[in-house]
Amino acid sequence: MNAARLLRNPIGWAILLIVVVLAVASIFTTVGESQQAVIVRMGVPRAVVNRFVPGEALGASGAGLVARVPLVDQVFYVDRRVQTLDLEGQPITSADGRPIAADAYARYRVVDPARFYTATHGDTGVFADTMKPMLGTALRTQLGQLPVAALLLPDRVPQMRAVKDAMDKAAQRFGVRVAEVRLDRTALPEGAPLDAAIGRMRAAQDAQADAIRTDGLAEAAGIRRAGEDEVSKIYADSFGQDPEFFDFYRAMLSYRITLADGSTQMVLSPNSEYFRQFRSGGKQ
């Protein structure tokens, strides 16, 4: 009687609807395409929903509504996408004893959500807190084998591959695979070390430029001497074959150089030896 009266009352229907909605919400939950879900019962992972599978097409996973036992099962969500672990300002001492500061990042993906939950006890921050010191140690170990000049250049592929392998091995106990580790930036510390390094690099570049300039001048001088020797040989051969033509040719070169611009003024006797080529046959 009381129940029938309650159902005839609009407020009663509202209360019943709220109870139904809460019951459904406690049973069903939604797992998105970009999420993996671990169903945890009494602290123990029981099932994984929408687990990442390499090469699986988007929409072919088990995302959507998932049922659970109310008040018994908990749902732990893990991102399926590639994630980034950043490490900034990592101090590294180079092989020649000079300090640098490095910014690095690692890209990783959780491939075993149940193991990830067990290793982190449901606290995703545990992974980052554990792996950042490992990343710093791996960077110091591998990059510390290089001189500072190599650390300031982008080509560090072999060393970064070794860092990635070390990180991947350590991350597997979390159910995580590391795809790559890269240096975002390397720089010398501000102040005297940076100024000293810039000075050394500038001095090395100046010395290299001076060496190139000296070699170029020496090579040019050699080419010039070879050319002059060749000209002298040609003149000598010409003189031996036809002394009169050689004398005429040399006089014409002198006239061209001296009188080419038309501004040269000369005061000479008509019988000057300089103009003898203008006289009959170029002879006295």
Residue-wise pLDDT for 82-97, tens only, equals 999 999 988 888 888 8
How far is residue 51 from each of residues 79, 92, 108, 122, 127, measured CA to CA in Å?
10, 38, 15, 17, 19
Cα-only R_g, the chain? 44
pLDDT of residue 107: 95
Q: Indicate the pLDDT class of residue 138, thresholds 50, 70 and 90.
A: very high
How far does CA 186 lie from the centroid of its chain?
10
Most confident stretch, 28-37, 110-119, 155-164, 225-234: 110-119
> Cβ contacts of residue 148 below 8 Å, gap of 6+?
94, 96, 98, 100, 188, 197
Q: CB neighbours of 88 closer than 8 A, spacing ≥ 6? A: 103
Q: Is 163 exposed, middle or buried (0-12, 13-18, 19+ CB in 10 A)?
A: buried
Predicted pLDDT of residue 205: 83
Length of the chain: 284
| Token couple for 197 | 């390094």
Q: Where are the beta strands (DSSP E) in 149-270?
A: 176-187
Span 34-68, pLDDT tens digits: 889 898 988 889 888 888 888 776 556 677 777 67
Please give the Cα distance from 137 to 130 (Å, whole number).
Answer: 12
CA distance 270 to 120: 112
> Between residues 122 and 245, which one has the greater pLDDT?
122
Q: What is the pLDDT of residues 254-274, one digit of tens each?
A: 766 776 666 767 676 666 666
pLDDT score of 273: 67
pLDDT in tens, 193-252: 556 656 666 778 888 888 898 888 888 888 888 887 787 777 667 666 667 766 777 777
**Could you tell me which of 46, 140, 25 has the C-alpha nearest to residue 94?**
140
Q: Is the pLDDT of residue 146 over 80?
A: yes
3-state SS class at 147: coil
Over residues 174-197, the pLDDT tens digits come to 999 999 999 888 877 665 455 665
What's this model's pTM, rounded to 2 decimal places? Answer: 0.59
Backbone angles phi, psi at 69, to 5 degrees: -85, 120
How far is the C-alpha of 242 from the C-alpha of 235, rounded, in Å? 10
What pLDDT does residue 282 have?
Answer: 46
Range among 64-68, 153-157, 278-282 with highest mean pLDDT value: 64-68
pLDDT value of residue 260: 66
The Cα diameter of the chain in Å comes to 155
